[in-house]
């Protein structure tokens, strides 16, 4: 069972479904006056989900989801902000004519942040939140110091098939195969129980 078949089972379709998932991380910092003032760890995900089969009972659709999660620390090492931001762009065939060109894209955004507050006289001052620069905004002053990106710049490109990277790739593939196998076996067992009864 491959990941495509697994998604077909979830969606209840046989073909026409395409999925593109990209994930990356970043280590960001803001240097003020020669000392690091803020450090943030950010994870980015980008998902495209399309269903283009016109002969199915399911209407054609195109979902695009982008998201970020982050943890930002102040220069004294305190976790100052954590958050998640998700943007959904959805387009689907509302009139069942098999064409998405005449449809409009609906955009939705969810953003949740939790911030540290000032401590006044030993008591938290909930009206005075500490707000570091936005890690999802362009031009906020963040410098990308992600180790693998710096290594790429120094070496003129990172060797994807180096020992450590192959270990990560192998472990990731192994986990995915294990999960898909378990799901497949559970579904197979349920089907066999139903047929016996």
Sequence spans of domains, the chain: 16-158, 159-197
What's the distance, CA 84 to chain centroid?
10
DSSP 76: T
The structure tokens listed for 138 are 């362009």
Distance CA 65, CA 47 (A): 5
The position carrying tokens 């495209």 is 48
CA distance to 70, 100, 102, 107, per residue, from 27 (Å): 10, 38, 41, 28
Per-residue confidence (pLDDT) for residue 147, from 0 to 100: 83
Per-residue confidence (pLDDT) for residue 100, from 0 to 100: 73
- β-sheet with 17-32: strand ranges across: 106-115, 79-92, 61-74, 35-51, 17-32, 143-144
Let me know: does 132 contact 80? Beta carbons within 8 Å.
Answer: yes
**Half-sphere exposure (CA, 13 Å, Cβ side) for 53?**
14
Tell me the pairing of strands 35-51 and 17-32: antiparallel
Per-residue confidence (pLDDT) for residue 186, from 0 to 100: 62
Distance CA 117, CA 155 (A): 42
pLDDT tens sequence for the chain (197 residues): 455 555 555 555 556 667 788 888 899 999 877 667 899 999 998 888 777 665 556 667 788 889 999 999 998 888 999 999 999 988 877 777 767 777 778 899 999 999 999 887 888 888 889 999 999 888 888 998 888 777 776 666 555 544 445 555 666 666 666 677 666 666 655 555 444 44
Per-residue confidence (pLDDT) for residue 124, from 0 to 100: 87
Strands (DSSP E) along the chain, which ranges? 17-32, 35-51, 61-74, 79-92, 106-115, 117-120, 123-129, 143-144
């Amino acid at each position: 069972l491959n990941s495509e078949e697994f998604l077909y089972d979830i969606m209840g379709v046989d073909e026409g479904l395409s999925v593109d998932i990209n994930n990356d991380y970043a280590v960001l910092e803001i240097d003020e006056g020669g000392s690091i003032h803020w450090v943030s760890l950010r994870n980015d995900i980008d998902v495209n989900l399309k269903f283009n089969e016109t002969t199915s009972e399911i209407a054609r659709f195109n979902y695009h989801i982008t998201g970020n999660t982050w943890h930002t620390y102040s220069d004294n090492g305190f976790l100052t902000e954590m958050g998640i931001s998700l943007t959904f762009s959805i387009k689907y065939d509302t009139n069942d004519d098999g064409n998405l060109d005449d449809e409009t894209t609906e955009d939705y955004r969810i953003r949740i942040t939790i911030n540290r507050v000032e401590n006044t006289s030993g008591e938290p001052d909930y009206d005075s939140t500490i707000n570091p620069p936005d890690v999802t905004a362009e031009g906020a002053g963040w410098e990308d110091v992600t180790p693998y990106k710096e290594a790429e710049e120094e070496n003129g490109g990172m060797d994807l098939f180096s020992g450590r990277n192959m270990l990560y790739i192998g472990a990731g593939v192994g986990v995915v195969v294990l999960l898909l196998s378990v799901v497949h076996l559970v579904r197979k067992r349920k089907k066999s129980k139903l047929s016996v009864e």
